Amino acid sequence: MKIKLAITAMAAVLSLTALSASASADGPINWAKGLQLTENGTPVARGAAVFNDQLILSGCEVQSTATLLNNGDPIDLLRAGTPTYIHCEAGTISGSLQLLDLQDNGTAILSPNITLTTSAGCVYYYPLLVGSFQASEGVANISGEGTGYRVRPTGRTSCAATITNPFEVGEIGSVDDALLSTELISNPTF
């Protein structure tokens, strides 16, 4: 089991390294500008509790509370907590988001620990989800595609080795349900 976890961790690190190169293709991170999450025009404090309204992947919804680790930097991080709500239209999903990385170039990187079981009984693990959002004076609605990797052979010939699903993360808000806006600022304080 430790070997499997080590291999999964190494795969996630390699995916993040490859992702950094692909994120640069969409536009490099601008270290002279920061990405700031604001609530009604006021910057959200580091350490504040926030939530992602919902992660929707393959007809499944996962909702959880998160903590804002930093704000106003070229890359802002949110650490997600235990899911508060899970629902699937078909199949099942387990796990949650771990980290949500928002970059000033409009790239969002989600580090999930999510396993999806389809209605056909195929089991897939999602180590990384990459999406985009509008990084300038708008609500951070994230969308993209994620690849799930078959966890184990199921004996079913209909289970593909990988599947790719669209995903979206609904509005990021404060715990009192106010929507958080994203805007680019000059001279970040990192």
Q: Where are the domains of the chain?
A: 34-185
Least confident interval from 5-14, 28-37, 127-136:
5-14
The predicted structure's pLDDT at residue 33: 79
Q: Would you give the distance in Å from CA 153 to the centre of its chain?
A: 27
Nearest to 57 by CA among 85, 95, 93, 103: 93
The predicted structure's pLDDT at residue 158: 81
Average pLDDT of span 168-183: 77
Rounded distance between C-alpha atoms, residue 166 and residue 171, angstroms:
17
Q: Is the pLDDT of residue 2 over 50?
A: no
121-164 residue pLDDT tens:
899 999 999 999 887 767 888 999 999 999 976 666 688 999 99
Q: Is the pLDDT of residue 68 over 60?
A: yes
